Structure 1
Amino acid sequence: MTTQTASRYTAEYSKIEAKLPGGLLPWLRELRNDALKQFSGRGFPSLREEEWRYTNVSSIEKNLFEPRLEPSDQQIDNDWLKNYRLADCWQIVLVDGYYSAELSNLAGIPKNVTIKSLNELLEADAEQVEPYFGKAVSIDEHSFVAFNTAWFGDGAFIRIPAKTLLDKPVQLLHVVTDPNRLAATRNLVIAESMAQAQMIETYVGVDQAYLSAAVTEVFVEPNADLTMFKLQCESEKAYHFGGTYVKQSRDARFSHHNFAFGSLLARSDIHVDLGHASECNLNGLYLGIKRQHLDNHTRINHLEPYAVSREVYKGVLDDRARGVFQGRVVVAEDAQKTDSEMNNRNLLLSNDAEVDTKPQLEIYADDVKCAHGVTVGQLDEKSVFYLQSRCVDEETARNMLTFAFANEMVTKIKQKSLHDLVLAEVLKRFPQQGITQDWL
């Protein structure tokens, strides 16, 4: 079935190929062609693939999502959009997959920092792009990466020069305005040696069915420090694939905070390759309600000695929602003195909610310290009873305990405007009785 859908997309591809960026660049044209062949031959991922065994994407096959071939001239409701614009941030806005200069705000960005539309840079100075494009993730990774490589229309290119400290985060705001739209974006983020920066990816869209397919390649060079946040709060009718693929050099530090709240079906990949004595922290929170399906796939590759990784993902599932966590840590033979910990904790609020969790450690070195832990359960009735004994009614007690479980991940956000936005999105998904944002 997936290959049938692939053939539909492949047939449509010939109509848009000439209008996709980079058509005059031999290296990009060849890569797109290879990606198209890869996708056409395999189709979308199927349940037969081990790393997709818990996520059925066949529902995507019911629609042929159409890409936009040029920037949108559609007016956006600014009152709605301002809810997702973060204060004290530079902003680069992508509408239906294309850069919008009108909606972006880069005033005051240091002159030596490059933040541009990937499409425009491919036309004006492709030599900046070629050394990085496709180097953090291959089209062989899986079909969604090949699909994105063939179909992407635009994206963001962000380079922070060596020894540069950005005093404000950069927000990359993805907005989808049309139903049945394919928004395929490709982003490159480079933090050069001893640079320090924060970046926030935010995904929002209209209350309709559409497909977001985004790939972000990240390069953290020696002694650089990069923190990234991802907030996915798209329409509950939408489909989302977002992959972040990271290469860390010696002594580099990388942190990622992933908040997955929206979409009918969403898949989030976070894959990191660690260099010598580098550090990586992955944190995540996924909240599923109704019939949402939220899949989180992480992979940490310890390739060289003395690297440290920490990972904590938490999930809350209600109604008939389903959550997936697949966390994999691979320690190469030469990666002695590795120190790695992984933890996944899940809270089920309904008898019909479900979570599939699969932590994996693959260790090929003999001098390492690695651990993982998983919990799946419901609220502790003793804790509920304790709060009731303090004059708290049962419903409020359950709300408070559920919120406290999730809020542990929210409190890790130190940037106030982002913290407040994530907190507001969390409270939307919890019963409001007994919880007031003003307390927090």
Structure 2
Amino acid sequence: MNAVTTSRYVAEYDTLAPTLPGQSLSWLQQLRKDALAKFSANGFPSPREEEWRYTNVSVLEKKLFAPSLNPSISQTDTEALKAQQLDDAWSIVLINGHFSAQHSRLDRLPAGVTVTSMAVALGETQKLASLLETHLGQVVKNNEHSLVAFNTAWFTDGVLVHVPAKQILAKPIQIVHIVTETDAMATMRNLIIVDGMAEAQVIETFVGTDNAYLTSAVTEVFVGSNAHLTLTKMQVESEKAYHFGGTYIKQAKDARFTHHNFAFGGLLARSDIHTDLDQASECELNGLYLGIKRQHIDNHTRINHLKPYAISREMYKGVLDDRAKGVFQGRVIVAEDAQKTDSQMNNRNLLLSDDAEADTKPQLEIYADDVKCGHGVTVGQLDEKSIFYLQSRSVDEETARNMLTFAFANEMVDKIKIKSLHDKVLEQVLVRFPQEGVEKDWL
């Protein structure tokens, strides 16, 4: 820990605090105070911590990122923002960590459905403030690690999504995070609540202009009994940016949760996805990370089977080129009471360069005796036999390699059922690797 830089962040907090939302809420002020104390004592995570051993965030200690107080966006950036918004979705936009009503599209939301700014919700009505008091900071605690505490203390805004019981949304909700300022710190806290027997799809999109900045976004999710939520994260931030995104989920009995995580951007990016499963609940975690140049992309998942009869499926794939480094740490914990658990975890990595690196650490912790659990890991290069087969069918070697690379990645892209989102993700895959001999229509 760099105590000097940490103390600078803490010292700046006194100036920032009066501008943060929820000043009149004693419970929130206590939550922030506890978080600040946690961060002040521990600083940013260190590779000495087991769950951060592959990812060194000391760069955050060397540079003081400043919270943005200006949510404005230029006309040029407006066009870039519009290009990221899906036509067939409601969208709520945060610019430099602040809600922008001007750029959001929230018309004709069904009655009872709430999609609003976190800052607005904290100060608007007693009903929403009460909802936040009941749920905020309940899935993930400040002691999870100090970047969560950092987010809790510093968040300037975020999004509240509440889908009431039995409501089935006809189209997805898209949360667009965009950062436009150099050396900015965009710190957001999101809360998604899907009540019993409801169904929803939520998409988080992270983009930014070609600047160095820090994004910190923590999303807490509650999926009610017999409810179904599909949450997709597409992170395509600047090649100079630093990204921490944590998604923490609590599933009720018979709840179904599906997560798609596409990590393509950032100089250094870390994503945490942790979920707690109740009785007979189901969880599916899918991920694709693409690293080029000197990118460092870290994915950390944890699935807690707490009750019997729950099912989890996890598949993460990585494609790494140049001097990029990819990290996957997947952990499945089966509690003593979680009999009849069915869990499978797989991580597959494709290295396109001799200098690329993949660090993978799958873990199973099983405390029950009547379970079906397994995991698999591979790290390697393209199969020479497959390349030879394509060459025998009059395909040149370079095209054959490109085709096999895209086929490897496209398995994860094809899991997306929303066509407009599928096309956005596929577009990002295509721009990151050689395209010679590959036609978009094939994929």
Q: Shorter-chain TM-score: which interval?
A: over 0.9
1:301 alignment partner AA:
N
- Please say if 1:396 is aligned against 2:370: no
- Specify which of 219, 238, 241 is matched with residue 238 of structure 1: 241
Give 1:48-87 correspondences, 5 Å limit.
48-69=48-69, 71-72=71-72, 74-75=74-75, 77-87=77-87
**Deviation of the 1:76 alpha carbon:** 5.4
- Please say if 1:328 is aligned against 2:334: no
2:33 alignment partner AA:
N
Aligned to 1:373: 376
**Deviation of the 1:71 alpha carbon:** 3.6
Residue deviations 1:253-310, cap 9 Å, x none? 0000000000000000000000010000000000000000000000000001110000
Give the Cα–Cα distance (whole angstroms) in 1 for the partners of residues 109 and 56 of structure 2: 42
Aligned to 2:202: 199
Give 1:416-427 correspondences, 5 Å limit.
416-427=419-430
2:83 partner SS: coil
- Please say if 1:412 is aligned against 2:415: yes
2:123 partner SS: helix
1:264 alignment partner AA:
L
Give the Cα–Cα distance (whole angstroms) in 2 for the partners of residues 379 and 183 of structure 1: 38
Give the Cα–Cα distance (whole angstroms) in 1 for the partners of residues 119 and 432 of structure 2: 37
- Specify which of 155, 158, 161 is matched with residue 158 of structure 1: 161
CA contact (8 A) 1:115 1:156 kept: yes
1:365 partner SS: coil
Give the Cα–Cα distance (whole angstroms) in 2 for the partners of residues 29 and 73 of structure 1: 30
- Specify which of 322, 327, 330 is matched with residue 319 of structure 1: 322
Give the Cα–Cα distance (whole angstroms) in 2 for the partners of residues 201 and 399 of structure 1: 29
Give 1:201-240 correspondences, 5 Å limit.
201-240=204-243
Aligned to 1:18: 18
Aligned to 1:100: 100
Give the Cα–Cα distance (whole angstroms) in 1 for the partners of residues 366 and 287 of structure 2: 24
**Deviation of the 1:124 alpha carbon:** 1.6
Percent identical: 68
1:32 partner SS: helix
**Deviation of the 1:322 alpha carbon:** 0.2
Aligned to 1:124: 124
Aligned to 1:181: 184
- Specify which of 264, 267, 272 is matched with residue 264 of structure 1: 267
TM-score (norm 1): 0.99
CA contact (8 A) 2:70 2:96 kept: no
Aligned to 1:387: 390
> What number of residue pairs does the alignment pair up?
440
**Deviation of the 1:74 alpha carbon:** 5.0
- Please say if 1:347 is aligned against 2:358: no
**Deviation of the 1:439 alpha carbon:** 3.3
CA contact (8 A) 1:2 1:46 kept: no
Coordinate RMSD, CA, aligned? 1.0
CA contact (8 A) 1:76 1:177 kept: no
TM-score (norm 2): 0.98
Give the Cα–Cα distance (whole angstroms) in 1 for the partners of residues 149 and 4 of structure 2: 16
1:63 alignment partner AA:
K
CA contact (8 A) 2:348 2:377 kept: yes
CA contact (8 A) 2:243 2:269 kept: yes
